[in-house]
Structure 1
C-alpha cells in the first residue's frame, strides 16, 4: 500500500520499521519539528525522523496542520491509500482525515474506549488496571473516538513499569498495524466496530507535579505511581529540603504505625498511610546520577526516624 506515516516519539518507531519491512510504499513520514533536547538543549530530531532518514524516507515536519492550505495540498498530492498515525502530536483536520483512500488509522496504546487521550500507558498502570493493549482505530474528528478495527491486550503485572509497557505495546502496535493493512488490502470494506459509550475515560496530559509522592496514600497506590511515572515525569519526595527522585522501588516487607514518610529501616523502607512500606531501590539527588540505594547510602547517612516529604 501507498502510505504516509505520522508519528514522533520512540513509541512510533517499531510500527514505522514494521511497515517498511512488510514492503509497504511509505512515501512520506510526518513528525514534530526538531527541538532542543537534553542538558545541552541542542536541536535534536525526534526518534521517528531519525528512523525515517535511516530508511531514506522523505520527512515533513510542519509546525501545524490546521488552517494550512499548503500542507493539505502537499498531503493530498501524495495520492495515499492510507495514513498511519502513532503518537504524532498534532491534530489532523477533517479534510486530511478523509483524503487517503482507506482513511487514517491510529495505533492507540489502550483498549479503547478506556484511556483515550495523552497518557494511556501511564494512566493504566497508575489506576491499577490489570491489562492494557493496542487498538487500531479509524480516525474521526473526535479525540480517540473513532471506530476500531482490531484490539489486542497485554497483562499489567505488579512489576510492570511505564517503560516496559511502552516497549511491549510499541512492538505489538507494529505487528497489529501490519496485520490490519493486510486485511484491508484484501477487503477495503473491512468492518470496524464503533466504540462503546460505556467505560469511556480520558488520560490527561501529565505534568511534573504529578510525580510528588503523598506518603499518606497506601503502599500499593504509591508503588503504582512510581511504576507509572518512571521515567517521565518521574516521582520524587524531599530529603533534607532537597528533591529526591525515586527511580525504582517496590512494596516493602515491614510494617509500622509511624508517621507516613518515616524511614524505618537502614535500607530505606518508608512508611505509607496504611502502615505498609515502600522499599526504595534506586534514587537520585538533584544534579547527581541515579544509583542503587546501597551505593547512595555509602555517601549519605539517613538514620531511621528521618521523615521524607
Structure 2
C-alpha cells in the first residue's frame, strides 16, 4: 500500500502544492501562482512579433564589407524608441520606398517601455509598433557587437548610450536628431526644459554621436524656430519632430558635405536637463504666475499639478492663460499665498500667487470635478472661512 493511500490527508495536500508550483523566469525560484504574479512585472502581452532578426550578420543585414560610399542611395540603420522618433522614421521609410536616397533601412529599438505613473506596467514601443505595421526589419536592443553593411546610423530620442565600437562600425558614424539648440539643453528632457526655462526660441540639432556622453558631438546641421505662445510639451514636440524629419532627409541628400563640415559645440551656454519626475508637479504658490503656467504647460499632460488642501492632495487641471486671469475682477484684499477665490462669472477656481492670481477650470479631489462643483461641495457656506492651498 502506497503512502498516498495510507496517509491521504497528509500526502495529497503536499502533492497538490508541488504540482501547482511554477518556475520564475527571472530568478528560477519555485513559487505559487499568486506569488509569481506579484513577483513578475506586469507586461503587455499583445506585443506583435516582428521579423526574426536577433543577429545582424546574416543575409538580411546585407553586405559584410565596409565601403565608404560618396553618394546615395544610403544604407541606414535607425535607432529610436518613442513618439518623437516616429516622424524621422516615417520620413526615412518614405525615402526607402522611393529608392533614390535610401537603399536599405533597418531599425533598432526596445520592444516595450514603461508607462509613466503606472508602476511596472509596459506598453509597446511606438517604433516597434510602426515596424510591425510596415514590415520593417527590426533588431532588439542591445544588438550584437559586429555591425556591417551600413553607411550611417540615424538616432532620434533613443535613451541609451551607444558604445564607441558600434558608432565606428558606420563609415559616416551616427547622426543624432536632438530637439534643442545645442549646447543648450543637453540631456533627457530638452523640449520640457525649454518651456520650463521660458525660452523664446528652440530648434533641432543634427549632431555626430560620441560614445560615453550624451549630446556633446559636433553640430552637423542646426535650425531654430520661435516657441509658440502657451504651447505645451506635446504640441512643441510634434512641431520639432516634423522639423527634425525634414532636416535628416536634407542632411542625407548631401551627407558627405555635412559630415566633413561639422563644428564642435561651444563651451559657452551649456545647460543640462535631467528626467522629469513626479515631485516636480508640486506647486509652490510663492512663485510667479508665469512660472506656474510654464510648469503646467511643460509637465501637466503627464504629471498634473499638485497641491495640498486641509492635508489632502488636490490635482489641478484646465489652467487658464494668466493674462486672461489677470483681467478678472477678484475682490479680495490682503490675500495670502495659495488663498482660494471662486470667480462665479467664469466658473474658475483662482489661487493667489506671488504676483497675482492663476485660475483652473477642473480639480481632482477624491474624484475629478469642475471648479464649480468643488466650490459648491467644499468652499461655499457660512462657516467655511478663508481657504488656502499649501
Q: Same fold (TM over 0.5)?
A: yes
Q: Higher mean Cα deviation, 116-125 or 42-51?
A: 42-51
Structure 2 unaligned runs (5+)?
A: 1-73, 97-101
Asked if 1:144 is matched to 2:225, the reply is: no
- 1:116 corresponds to which residue? 186
Among 201, 206, 213, the residue aligned to 2:271: 201
Return the offset for 1:40.
Answer: 10
The alpha-carbon distance between structure 1 residues 247 and 28, as it changes in their structure 2 partners (threshold 3 A), is farther
The alpha-carbon distance between structure 1 residues 40 and 188, as it changes in their structure 2 partners (threshold 3 A), is closer
Structure 1 unaligned runs (5+)?
A: none
Asked if 1:54 is matched to 2:133, the reply is: yes
Asked if 1:167 is matched to 2:167, the reply is: no
Among 253, 264, 284, the residue aligned to 2:341: 264
Higher Rg of the two aligned structures: 2
Distance 1:25 1:107 in 2: 20
Among 173, 198, 211, the residue aligned to 2:281: 211
- 1:2 corresponds to which residue? 75
- 1:239 corresponds to which residue? 309
The alpha-carbon distance between structure 1 residues 226 and 84, as it changes in their structure 2 partners (threshold 3 A), is same
Could you say what secondary structure the match of 1:48 adopts? helix
Return the offset for 1:299.
Answer: 7.1
The alpha-carbon distance between structure 1 residues 217 and 25, as it changes in their structure 2 partners (threshold 3 A), is same
- Aligned-CA RMSD value: 2.4
TM-score normalized with structure 2 length: 0.70
Return the offset for 1:232.
Answer: 2.4
The alpha-carbon distance between structure 1 residues 191 and 285, as it changes in their structure 2 partners (threshold 3 A), is farther
Deviations 1:29-75 (A, max 9, x none): 1112324548696543111111121121122222xx4xxxx7212xx
The alpha-carbon distance between structure 1 residues 189 and 14, as it changes in their structure 2 partners (threshold 3 A), is closer
Return the offset for 1:306.
Answer: 2.2
